[in-house]
Structure 1
Amino acid sequence: MPAPLPEILAARIGDLIRNGGAAAGARLVERRLAEQLRVSRSPVRRALRILAQEGVVGGAPGGGFVVLAPDAAASLLPPAEPDDEGPYLQIAADRLDGLLPERVSETALMRRYGLTRARLGAILRRIAAEGWIERLPGHGWAFLPVLTSLQAYADSYRFRLVIEPAAILEPGFVLDRAAIAACRAAQQRLVDGDIRRVSNATLFDLNSRFHETVIACSRNTFFIDSLRRVDRLRRLIEYRRTLDRDRAVVRCREHVALADLLLAGRRAEAAAFMREHLASVGPEKVAEPRSGAAAS
Structure 2
Amino acid sequence: MARALADVLATNIHQHITRTGIAPGTRLPERSLAEQFNVSRSPVREALKRLAAQAVVAAHPDGGYAVADEAPPGAEPEVFEVESVDAGEETYLAIAEDRLAGKLEDRVTENELMRRYAVTRAQLNAVLRRMVQEGWIERRPGHGWQFQSVLTSSETYRQGYRYRLLIEAAGILEPTFQLDREGLLRCRAEQEVLANGGVRTASPAALFDANSRLHETIAACSGNVFILDGLRRLDRLRRLMEYRKAVDRDQAERRCREHLTLIDLLLAGQRDAAADFMKLHLRSAVREKASD
TM-score higher than 0.5: yes
Alignment of 1:98-247 (within 5 A): 98-247=102-251
CA contact (8 A) 1:242 1:285 kept: no
Shift of 1:175: 0.2
Larger radius of gyration: 2
Task: Return the alpha-carbon distance in structure 2 between the equivalents of residues 19 and 176 of structure 1.
Answer: 24
Query: Could you say what secondary structure the match of 2:244 adopts?
Result: coil
The residue type paired with residue 208 of structure 1 is S
| 1:99-120 alpha-carbon deviations (Å, 9 max, x no partner) | 1011110011111111100000
CA RMSD of aligned residues (A): 1.9
Residue among 255, 258, 265 paired with 1:261? 265
Q: Distance in 2 between matches of 1:128 and 1:19?
A: 24
* TM-score between the two structures when normalised by the length of structure 1: 0.71
Tell me the distance in 2 between the aligned counterparts of 1:82 and 1:212: 27
Aligned residues of 2:171 and 2:227 also touching (Cα < 8 A): yes
1:203-252, CA deviations, whole angstroms, 9 ceiling, x for partnerless residues? 11000111000111001011000000110000011112344101110000
The code of the aligned residue for 1:225 comes to D
Aligned to 1:148, the other structure's residue is in SS state coil
**Contact 2:100 / 2:152 at 8 angstroms: preserved in 1?**
yes
1:277 aligns with 2:286: no
Which ranges in structure 2 are unaligned for 5 or more consecutive residues? 7-41, 47-83
Q: Secondary structure at the residue paired with 1:156?
A: helix
- Aligned-partner residue type, residue 138 of structure 2: E
**Could you tell me which residue of structure 1 aligns to residue 255 of structure 2?**
251
Alignment check: 8 A CA contact 2:184 2:263 kept: yes
Compared with structure 1, are the counterparts of its residues 18 and 258 closer, same or farther at alpha carbon in structure 2 (3 Å cutoff)? farther
Change (3 A) 1:202 1:81: closer
Paired residues, number: 219
In structure 2, relative to structure 1, the CA distance for the partners of 1:243 and 1:114 (3 Å cut) is closer
Give the aligned partner of residue 96 of structure 1.
100
Contact 1:20–1:183 at 8 Å: present in 2 too? no
Whole-Å Cα distance in 2 between the matches of residues 141 and 219 of structure 1?
Answer: 35
Structure 1's consecutive aligned runs of 4 or more residues displaced over 2 angstroms after TM superposition are 17-21, 69-72, 240-243
Q: Which AA in structure 2 matches 1:158?
A: R
TM value normalised by structure 2: 0.72
Equivalent position amino acid for 2:178 in 1: V
Distance 1:20 1:217 in 2: 25
Q: Which residue type is aligned with residue 105 of structure 1?
A: T
What is the percent sequence identity of the aligned residues?
56
Q: Which ranges of structure 1 fall in alignment gaps of 5 or more residues?
A: 1-14, 22-68, 73-79, 290-296
